Amino acid sequence: MNYSKMEEQYGIGVYPSREITLVSGSDATVWDDRGQEYIDCTAGIGVASVGHCNLDVVDAIQRQAARMITCAGIFANDVRARCMETLASISPPGLNRVFLCNSGAESIEAAIKLARQSTERHKIASAYRGFHGRTFGALSATHQKSYQEPFQPLVPGFEGFSFNSIESLDKVLDDSTAALILELVQGEGGVRPARQEFASAAAEMCRERGVLLVIDEIQTGFCRTGTMFASEQYDVVPDILCLAKAMAGGFPMGATIVNEKIQSKIGSHGSTFGGNPMACAASVATIEYIQREELATRAAELGNAFAEQLRRRDVPLIRDIRQLGLMIGIELRVRSTPYLKQLQERQILALPAGSTVIRLLPPLVITQSQMSQVLNELVSILTAEGQWALTRTEGILLTISAAADDLQLL
Ligand X SMILES: Cc1ncc(COP(=O)(O)O)c(C=O)c1O
Q: How far is CA 53 from CA 59, 80, 325, 386, in A?
A: 10, 22, 22, 41
- Rounded Cα gap, residues 28 and 333, in angstroms: 28
Is residue 350 within 8 A of residue 41, CB to CB? The reply is yes
- Give least dist CB 186 to ligand X, A: 8
> Is 133 a binder of ligand X (CB under 6 A)?
yes
Count of residues that bind ligand X according to CB under 6 A: 15
CB nearer ligand X, residue 27 or residue 188: 188
User: Shortest Cβ distance from residue 15 to ligand X (Å)?
Assistant: 12
User: What's the CA gap between 220 and 45, in Å, rounded?
Assistant: 11
Query: From the CB of 64, what's the least distance to ligand X, in Å?
Result: 21
Residue number, 194 or 398, with CB nearest to ligand X: 194
Cβ at position 191, least distance to ligand X in Å: 11
Q: Which is nearer to ligand X, 180 or 315 (CB)?
A: 180
Residue nearest to ligand X (CB): 104
| H runs (alpha helix) in 149-276 | 166-172, 196-209, 230-234
Choose between 127 and 258: whose C-beta lies nearer to ligand X: 127
Give least dist CB 245 to ligand X, A: 6
Neighbours of 228 (CB within 10 A): 20
Site string for ligand X, 216-255 (x = CB under 6 A): x-xx------------------------x-----------
CB closer to ligand X, 286 vs 370: 286
Residue choice 40, 56, 159, 188 for contact with ligand X (CB under 6 A): 188
Between 141 and 258, name the residue whose CB sits nearer to ligand X. Answer: 141
Residue from 51, 92, 137, 187 in contact with ligand X (CB under 6 A)? 187
Contact status, residue 258 vs residue 112, Cβ threshold 8 Å: no
**Nearest approach, Cβ of 202 to ligand X (angstroms)?**
16
DSSP 243-269: E-GGGGBTB--EEEEE-TT----TTSS
If the CB atoms of residues 219 and 356 are measured against ligand X, the closer one turns out to be: 219
Phi, psi dihedrals of residue 31, rounded to the nearest 5°: -125, 145
Residue 183 is a binding residue for ligand X (CB under 6 A): yes
Contact between 96 and 130 under an 8 Å Cβ cutoff? The reply is no
> Across 47-150, where does the E strand assignment appear?
97-101, 123-127
Query: Of residues 105, 114, 202, 328, which one binds ligand X by CB under 6 A?
Result: 105
Residue 249 CB: number of other CB atoms within 10 A?
Answer: 29
Question: Which of positions 286-315 make contact with ligand X (CB under 6 A)?
Answer: none
**Which residues, 6+ apart, have CB-to-CB distance to 316 below 8 Å?**
333, 388
Cis peptide before 153 (omega within 30 of 0): yes
- Given the rule CB under 6 A, which of 18-26, 28-36, 125-133, 300-308 is the region that contacts ligand X? 125-133
Contact 280, 346 (CB under 8 A): no
Binding site for ligand X (CB under 6 A): 45, 103-105, 108, 131-133, 183, 187-188, 216, 218-219, 244
